[in-house]
């Protein structure tokens, strides 16, 4: 619950907001029933956030895997339209996010508004890349023989994303948007200290056109949730943006149990215009060989 109220009439009791996880398009409480206190930059109580368990992490992976086939099979153009709709809804809830970012990061209202505007713009930026990234990193390859050789990108699968700890909204979107824009599904661990913008993002996604399970948002102790995700055999990649050096090393070791892509944490200026590195980090390249001329019409893919 949070201290947010829906009215200010004299003598009226405040209606406290209950923050929940976002898993499979639904809003469960933590399986363990635990919560933890979220405070603002001055240490004042803001809300009780759900403290996810290992079971919540496993449930989120199941939801993400179930959603992967449909989301990855959607045309890139349609994915862009769906993501743009999310930006529209973020814009409509701008004041809420301005308040949450200001409280989470200790910013003035004007500075928080600038961060929220940049975040919405960042989401639109990635939405615009959905039907363009294949043209940039795919194409026809010259080969020595009578063949067409074509390479095209495909999504890796289920990606675990550790959101940045300090940039609770802009950083979150900067690591999440490229994952789903390229057709992957995501299990996001919100900033441990400032999870409220991420949990509110779940409410936006639930009322948009993004299918349930494409994005799953967990809050709680980052190390506790990340450990089972790093070792999970059905997680195909993990972005360690929100891990410190010691935790990142531990998770890299856990991720080695199966073939899993690991994006190591690195200093990032989230205010700067991003490149395409976070999109290509979670794409695989499929190459198709097709004979030409008199060799026949059959082809093969590798």
Average pLDDT of every residue of the chain: 91
The number of angstroms, rounded, from the C-alpha of 85 to the middle of its chain's C-alpha atoms is 16
Q: Helices 109-127 & 94-105, crossing angle to 10 degrees?
A: 120
- d(CA 191, CA 167) in angstroms, rounded, equals 8
What is the assigned CATH class of domain 53-301? alpha beta
Output the pTM of the full model.
Answer: 0.89
φ/ψ (deg, to 5) at 289: -105, 130
Q: What is the DSSP letter of 106?
A: T
- d(CA 132, CA 267) in angstroms, rounded, equals 27
Encode pLDDT of 31-67 as tens digits: 989 999 999 988 999 999 999 999 999 999 999 999 9
Rg value, the chain, Cα: 21
Q: What residue segments make up the domains of the chain, in order of their start?
A: 53-301
Share of the chain above pLDDT 70, in %: 93
- d(CA 52, CA 45) in angstroms, rounded, equals 20
Residue 96 pLDDT > 70:
yes
- d(CA 197, CA 68) in angstroms, rounded, equals 25
Encode pLDDT of 140-164 as tens digits: 878 888 878 888 899 999 999 999 9
Give the chain's length. 302
Residue 21 pLDDT > 90:
yes
Residue 22's DSSP bridge partners are 217
Q: Which residues contact 45 (CB under 8 A, 6 or more apart)?
A: 3, 37, 38, 39
Confidence band of 1 (pLDDT split at 50, 70, 90): low
């Amino acid at each position: 619950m949070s201290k947010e109220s829906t009215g200010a009439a004299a003598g009226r009791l405040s209606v406290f907001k209950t923050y929940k996880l976002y898993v499979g398009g639904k809003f469960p409480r933590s399986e363990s029933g635990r919560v933890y206190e979220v405070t603002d930059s001055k240490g004042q109580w803001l809300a009780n956030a759900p403290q996810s368990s290992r079971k919540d992490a496993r449930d989120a992976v199941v939801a993400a895997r179930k959603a992967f086939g449909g989301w990855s099979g959607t045309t890139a153009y349609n994915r862009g339209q769906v993501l743009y709709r999310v930006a529209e809804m973020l814009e409509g809830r701008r004041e809420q996010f301005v308040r949450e970012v200001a409280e989470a990061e200790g910013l003035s209202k004007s500075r928080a508004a600038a961060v929220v505007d940049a975040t919405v713009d960042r989401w639109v930026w990635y939405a615009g890349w959905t039907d363009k990234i294949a043209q940039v990193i795919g194409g026809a390859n010259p080969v020595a023989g009578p063949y067409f050789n074509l390479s095209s990108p495909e999504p890796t699968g289920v990606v675990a994303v550790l959101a940045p700890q300090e940039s609770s909204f802009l950083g979150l979107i900067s690591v999440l948007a490229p994952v789903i824009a390229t057709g992957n599904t995501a299990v996001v661990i919100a900033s441990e200290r400032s999870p409220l913008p991420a949990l509110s993002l779940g409410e936006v996604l639930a009322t948009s056109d993004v299918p349930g399970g494409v994005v799953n948002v967990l809050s709680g102790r980052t190390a506790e949730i990340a450990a089972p995700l790093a070792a999970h055999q059905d997680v195909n990649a993990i972005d360690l943006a929100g891990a410190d050096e010691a935790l990142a090393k531990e998770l890299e070791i856990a991720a080695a149990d199966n073939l899993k892509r690991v994006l190591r944490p690195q200093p990032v200026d989230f205010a700067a215009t991003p490149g395409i590195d976070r999109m290509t980090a979670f794409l695989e390249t499929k190459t198709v060989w097709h004979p030409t001329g008199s060799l026949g019409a059959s082809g093969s893919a590798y």
